[in-house]
């Protein structure tokens, strides 16, 4: 019997640590990947096209406002929704209600984005999409420590780590499949995510929290929603900074590559989705080739740090190449290098992150704080990008994308160095 059918008085405060079957892992994979697809198809492609439709002359500014505000909601949403999930006493469990919330918000966000005729309405649509993705990803992330014993978390951790690049590929594939119909480019990825989340919701044997065991909530606990003391938990703090800096590099490319390809390499806006999709196939294909092999090697030798540091450096090299690319083939070479580094980093770093979580009672909240490191750069990059793009700008070169990507390169190198001080993980 699924926990959704459990009688109201049944105690389900804990789930024995076991190894769910391959069907559940497949459902989790589809849910994580499709949720990232709905979000990343917006961030990489459709929001740029919609911004140009609203104001061709101010498209980069419109995009910066939309992504910046949406990312601010993600910053607040990840830890807050994580804490709410940890404290939820619904008979449906602690995680399943947030999967359902994600379904509703993703659908509403797609509808509002399609109908937007102004920056304000497009921003509202992206905020709803972002919150929907946050609800879903918080629930999916917490499922791993909830449902899997420590010795069985390797594969589901890799699923969470690789969900972003896989989702970006899936989202771009679905979007370019229906281009240039912009409405369909918004709706199709959202619909796929909604269906996959529904499958996971009814596949999950969720944990029900008894009201008597609900954590106390005070002003002090509320402040803890956004904070893990780095002095008490230095490994968590260093892992957070590493991830934040790496994702600064990721965001610098993801948010502006459509404009970069159009303005620098002369790609036709009508088919830029296909060009980005081709690059994503290359990047994700190499991620899928190298990430499982090196993640398995990491398990065999019992070490995480060398793989995380090395992959971050490789990613930084790819960013440096993209900053100096003078042709689309050179751009593809850069993307290939980035794909290898990014894939291995996402796969192994997630296992490292779960190893340094400070409190087994607050998995969702602490993973929510860690997810801030993924979403914060999406706010920071749009805020600093106009200044970086304006460096040395001229009539012939109105946007200095090289400066933006070199800033991402520096951030990625610093992210690699942040792993070095971690002592609790080899």
pLDDT tens-place string over residues 136-174: 999 998 887 777 776 666 677 777 777 877 888 899 889
Flag whether pLDDT at 135 surpasses 90: yes
Domain extent at residue 47: 21-207+231-417
Tell me if 4 is assigned to some domain: no
Three-state secondary structure call for residue 190: helix
- Higher pLDDT: 226 or 116? It is 116
Tell me if 413 is assigned to some domain: yes
Q: What is the pLDDT of residues 230-275, one digit of tens each?
A: 677 788 888 888 988 998 988 888 778 888 888 888 888 777 878 8
Give the Å distances, CA to CA, from 221 to 210, 224, 225: 19, 5, 7
For residue 168, give both structure tokens: 């970006």
Flag whether pLDDT at 4 surpasses 50: no
- Higher pLDDT: 194 or 68? It is 194
Flag whether pLDDT at 130 surpasses 80: yes
What is the pLDDT confidence band of residue 317, given thresholds at 50, 70 and 90?
Answer: very high
Per-residue model confidence (pLDDT) at position 8: 33
What is the pLDDT confidence band of residue 14, given thresholds at 50, 70 and 90?
Answer: very low
Tell me if 294 is assigned to some domain: yes
What is the pLDDT confidence band of residue 216, given thresholds at 50, 70 and 90?
Answer: low
Per-residue model confidence (pLDDT) at position 127: 95
What is the pLDDT confidence band of residue 2, given thresholds at 50, 70 and 90?
Answer: very low
Q: Say how many CA atoms lie within 13 Å of 328 toward its Cβ.
A: 14
Per-residue model confidence (pLDDT) at position 333: 93
What is the pLDDT confidence band of residue 19, given thresholds at 50, 70 and 90?
Answer: low
Tell me if 52 is assigned to some domain: yes
Average pLDDT over every residue of 17-34:
83
Note the helical H segments in 178-267: 182-203, 219-224, 234-254, 257-264
Tell me if 216 is assigned to some domain: no
Q: Which residue has tokens 């009539």?
A: 395
Tell me if 404 is assigned to some domain: yes
Average pLDDT over the chain reads 81
Per-residue model confidence (pLDDT) at position 3: 36
Average pLDDT over every residue of 200-209:
82
- The Cβ of residue 213 has, within 10 Å, a number of other Cβ atoms equal to 12
Rg for the chain (alpha carbons), in Å? 21
Flag whether pLDDT at 107 surpasses 80: yes
Per-residue model confidence (pLDDT) at position 65: 87
- Residue 158's CATH number: 1.20.1250.20
Q: What is the pLDDT of residues 320-378, one digit of tens each?
A: 998 888 888 899 999 999 988 888 887 777 777 777 777 666 666 777 777 778 777 87
Query: Could you give the number of structural domains in the chain?
Result: 1
| 38: Cα separation from own chain's centroid | 11
pTM score above 0.85: no
Tell me if 226 is assigned to some domain: no
What is the pLDDT confidence band of residue 214, given thresholds at 50, 70 and 90?
Answer: low
Secondary structure element (H or E) that encloses residue 406, with its range: helix 401-417
- Find residue 18's DSSP bridge partners: 148
Tell me if 378 is assigned to some domain: yes
């Amino acid at each position: 019997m699924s926990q959704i059918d459990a009688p109201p008085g049944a105690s389900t405060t804990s789930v024995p640590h076991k190894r769910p079957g391959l069907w559940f892992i497949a459902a989790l994979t589809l849910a994580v990947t499709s949720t990232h697809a709905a979000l990343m198809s917006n961030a990489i492609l459709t929001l740029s096209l919609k911004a140009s439709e609203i104001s061709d002359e101010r498209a980069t500014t419109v995009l910066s406002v939309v992504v910046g505000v949406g990312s601010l909601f993600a910053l607040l949403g990840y830890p807050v929704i994580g804490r709410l999930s940890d404290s939820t006493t619904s008979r449906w469990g602690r995680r399943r209600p947030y999967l359902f919330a994600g379904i509703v918000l993703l659908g509403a966000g797609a509808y509002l984005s399609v109908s937007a005729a102004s920056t304000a309405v497009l921003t509202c649509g992206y905020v709803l999409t972002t919150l929907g993705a946050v609800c879903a990803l918080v629930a999916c992330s917490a499922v791993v420590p909830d449902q899997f014993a420590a010795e069985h978390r390797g594969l589901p951790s890799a699923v969470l780590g690789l969900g972003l690049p896989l989702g970006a590929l899936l989202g771009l594939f679905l979007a370019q499949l229906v281009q240039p119909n912009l409405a369909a480019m918004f709706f199709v990825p959202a619909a796929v995510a909604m269906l996959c989340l529904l499958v996971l919701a009814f596949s999950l044997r969720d944990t029900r929290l008894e009201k008597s065991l609900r954590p106390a909530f005070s002003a002090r606990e509320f402040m803890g929603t956004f904070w893990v003391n780095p002095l008490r938990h230095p490994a968590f703090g260093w892992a957070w900074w590493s991830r934040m800096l790496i994702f600064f590099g990721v965001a610098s490319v993801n948010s502006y590559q459509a404009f970069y390809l159009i303005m620098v390499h002369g790609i036709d806006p009508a088919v830029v989705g296909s060009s980005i999709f081709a690059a994503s196939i290359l990047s994700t294909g190499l991620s899928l080739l190298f990430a499982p092999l090196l993640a398995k090697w990491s398990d065999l030798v019992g070490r995480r740090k060398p793989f995380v540091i090395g992959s971050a450096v490789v990613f930084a090299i790819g960013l440096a190449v993209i900053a100096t690319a003078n042709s689309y083939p050179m751009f593809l070479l850069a993307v290939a290098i980035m794909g290898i580094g990014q894939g291995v980093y996402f796969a192994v770093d997630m296992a490292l992150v779960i190893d340094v979580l400070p409190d087994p009672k607050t998995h969702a909240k602490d993973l929510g704080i860690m997810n801030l490191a993924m979403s914060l750069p999406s706010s920071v990059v749009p805020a600093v990008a106009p200044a970086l793009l304006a460096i040395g700008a001229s009539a012939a070169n109105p946007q200095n994308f090289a400066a933006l990507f070199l800033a991402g390169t520096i951030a990625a190198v610093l992210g690699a160095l942040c792993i070095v001080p971690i002592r609790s993980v080899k």
